[in-house]
Structure 1
Amino acid sequence: MSNFNLVDKVENITKEEFKEKYLSTNTPVVFKDLAKNWKATTKWTFDFFKENYGDWEIPMYDDSYHNPGNGYMKPVSYKKFSDYLDIIETKPTSLRFHNFQIMKRAPELANDYETPTIMDGFFKFALMFFGGKGSALNLHYDIDCSHVFLTHFQTQKKVYLYHPDQSQLLYKLPFTNHSHVNVLHPDLEKYPAFKYAKGYEATIEHGETLFIPRLWWHYVYYSEGGYSLALRANNSIKTKAQGLTNLIRLFTVDNGMNYIAGKKWKEYKDNKAEQNAIKAMNEVKLEL
């Protein structure tokens, strides 16, 4: 397994201190108190969502999310929201529900959290992520080049992070923002370069917020079933433009080629990722 440093946890930090120590250095950090005044930290329980929004039909995703073919990055099924919440509250499952723009479905929930003032450039929209114990969100980075502020509720989850300069050692798949490496159980015979990658580990408890700097890789593991709210910020015109370019280029090329070539496209990406990883690994070895 790669080497992990623990992400700092802070509280009562000022906007200026955050900018100097974490934002300007592109370094992750966990805020213990960024969401301390949010109604959501006491209001958003499993029962609250079941009672008020339990009839929603929601898409389910599992470990087949990146398998090539017609199901590539598509839901495997749909469930009633209340039934899904019953599952993740009581038992392990690989089923996840992610990138949900819940405020479009229930705009009143926007009254339960506040836009942070810790930096400028926050977007108005929010995303929610739900997962059962033992489920994980693949190693990836967010291609829109935004910083992410991820606040967790009710339980606990772990996030493993890697600086963008580790991309090749992580077997970054070309024309995507993803890697197939399982951070917690890596196949080092298949991915030998991964053991040279240096990462960070963050444990987010109820009400805590993880700052994920732009373009940082992250592997999200649900050590307990639970859910999180992600707010995004980008105070740079340059990186906003870069993010838009990434979204158009990666989604268009990758989804298009998957539709046309399927498994052959996957094989090309895997082979290219392996070539780049071996080259990066050899460069690291020369520096040791």
Structure 2
Amino acid sequence: MGQFRTTPVDRVENISKADFIKKYYKPQKPVLITGLTKNWPAYKKWKLDYIQQKAGDQIVPLYDNEPAKDKESVYAPVKEMKLYDYIEILKTQPTDLRIFFYNILHKMPELLEDFEYPDIGLKFFKKLPALFFGGGKSKVFMHYDIDLPDSMHFHFDGDKSVTLFSPEQTKYLYRVPFSIHNVEDIDMDDPDFKKYPALQYAEGIRAEMQHGDALYMPSGYWHSIRYLNGGFSMTLRALPRHPARFAHMLYNVFIMRHIDNISRKYRGQKWLDYKDKLAIRRTERNLDLKKHSS
């Protein structure tokens, strides 16, 4: 077992639009901004108690740390419960149960009054502001977003750790074909370099987030997330502007995803095992090329 080589993310308290575009957006480099939300009503109001009071009666789907197997849908929740009861769990005990992509616009539109879309150089897609909730045992597997957005990720009422890898690191990460994640057997908190030797060459960026922090995640960046205690986050997304990346996004959403869903429906675990073997074979081929070129 081992630890990834990581460097801390750049941290700034505030940044101008011009500097953000020059230093981070154009070079596609992550940055954590600590002061971006401090003038929002959300900075004072967005705590678990507040969400609980606003929408406690809503029934929400919950997911855990176990990957879907065989013909199980990755979008199928493990259980449902009232949001009030789920938040009570977050406040009182560690849990791996989490809420994935809670659409603010549809589920709690009054929250739109509590924040603003930052004028920082990103053209945000305003139809999909989303919340994500997790507890002290919750993990989000290593993945990149299927629509390849430039994202601003805001965290509230808790602490979380985010590990990022640039698209250039994909060759070492055992990316599963027709998917947006790597081999799910890999523990990103304690990687097994003997079983997955290419991982030791991957270089990541680590961000430790607290209440009100905003993390810029460039398009196509891999990220794994670990909640350190109960809390929630909001993601605002900007669609990719570069024509090649926009075309890649369309392929992911309208072709790749459907190929994977259909293959999984008819072949089940055999399809998943085939993809994992292919991911390992391709990644270790990249490792051999690296060794021969060194």
For Structure 1 versus Structure 2, the TM-score category normalised by the shorter chain is over 0.9
Q: Which residue of 1 aligns with 2:49?
A: 47
Offset at 1:102?
Answer: 2.2
Question: Which amino acid letter does the alignment assign opposite residue 262 of structure 1?
Answer: G
Say what the alpha-carbon RMSD is for the aligned residues.
Answer: 1.4
- Partners of 1:8 and 1:242 lie apart in 2 by 28
Displacement of 1:145 after TM fit?
Answer: 1.5
2-structure distance, mates of 1:102, 1:246: 24
User: How far off its partner does 1:287 sit?
Assistant: 4.5
Q: CA deviation at 1:65?
A: 3.5
Q: CA deviation at 1:284?
A: 2.8
Q: Deviations over 1:219-242 (max 9, x none)?
A: 011011110000011361623343
Per the alignment, do residues 9 and 255 of structure 1 end up closer, same or farther by CA in structure 2, a change over 3 Å counting? Answer: same
| Structure 2 letter corresponding to 1:189 | K
Match of 2:164 in 1: 161
Give the structure 1 partner of residue 265 of structure 2. Answer: 259
| 2:215 pairs with 1:213 | no
Q: Which residue of 1 aligns with 2:11?
A: 9
CA contact (8 A) 2:70 2:270 kept: no
Which residue number corresponds to residue 109 of structure 1?
111
* Residues 15-58 of structure 1 deviation map (CA, whole Å, 9 limit, x = unaligned): 11111111111110001111121111111111111112111110
Counterpart amino acid of residue 204 in structure 1: M
The structural deviation recorded for 1:4 is 0.3
Residue 129 (structure 1) aligns with:
132
Distance 1:13 1:269 in 2: 42
Deviates more, 1:275-284 or 1:167-176: 275-284
* 1:133-282 alignment, distance < 5 Å: 133-179=136-182, 180=184, 181-234=186-239, 236=241, 238=243, 239-282=245-288
Tell me the SS of whatever aligns to 1:50: helix
Cα distance, 1:235–1:172 mapped onto 2, change above 3 Å: closer
SS of aligned partner of 1:5: strand
Residue 188 of structure 1 and its aligned partner are, at CA, apart by 2.6
Identity of aligned residues (%): 36
Q: Aligned pair 1:120/2:125, yes or no?
A: no
- 1:286–1:10: structure 2 CA closer, same or farther, 3 Å change rule? farther
Stretches of structure 1 that go unaligned for 5 or more consecutive residues are none
Query: 1:32 maps to which residue?
Result: 34
Q: What is the DSSP-based 3-state SS (H/G/I as helix, E as strand, rest coil) of the residue aligned with 2:179?
A: coil
* Conservation of the 8 A alpha-carbon contact between 1:65 and 1:74: no
Segments of structure 2 that go 5 or more residues without pairing to the other structure are: none
CA contact (8 A) 2:70 2:268 kept: yes
Alignment of 1:87-106 (within 5 A): 87-106=89-108
Give the count of matched residue pairs.
Answer: 288
CA contact (8 A) 2:104 2:112 kept: no
Structure 1 SS opposite 2:232: strand
**Are the counterparts in 2 of residues 10 and 29 from structure 1 also a CA contact under 8 Å?**
yes
Question: How far 1:283 moved relative to its partner?
Answer: 2.6
Question: Normalising to structure 2: TM-score of the pair?
Answer: 0.94
Q: Contact 1:196 / 1:284 at 8 angstroms: preserved in 2?
A: no
Q: Which residue does 2:83 correspond to in 1?
A: 81
- 1:280 maps to a residue whose letter is N
87-96 or 234-243, which deviates more? 234-243
SS of 2:208's equivalent in the other structure is strand
Distance in 2, Cα, partners of 1:55 & 1:68: 33
